[in-house]
Amino acid sequence: MQLVVNHNQSLLDLVIQENGNVATAFELALLNGISLTDPLIPGQELNFVKSILADDEIVSYFKNKKVKIATGFQNNETLLPQLGIGQMAIGSTFIVR
């Protein structure tokens, strides 16, 4: 079976979605000759075999909800705005009284 990678998906996202168990990430990585931390390219096809460690309850949950897990983000995307004391300049945005 082949899995097609979606935008912002990691290997861990794929194994949780398809096997319901993050421990199967090692199996998927070995099967495809990649590292757990290798960035995946959208549209990339990976070989996939259902693991004996799969948790069918979790897999069916995501399938029934029609959820595609994609937790990754690009380095140029910011999760939180750069605010706080570390970003302030004394006398400009941080006033001492």
**How do the pLDDT tens digits run along the chain, 97 residues long?**
898 999 999 999 999 999 999 999 999 999 999 999 898 999 999 999 888 899 999 999 999 999 898 887 666 666 666 666 666 666 666 666 6
pLDDT in the model for residue 1: 87
- Give the chain's count of helices (H) and strands (E): 3, 2
pLDDT in the model for residue 14: 93
Could you tell me the residue range of the domain that residue 97 belongs to? 1-97
Domain count, the chain: 1
pLDDT in the model for residue 91: 64
Torsion angle of the four alpha carbons 20, 23, 27, 28, in this order, in degrees rounded to the nearest 10:
50
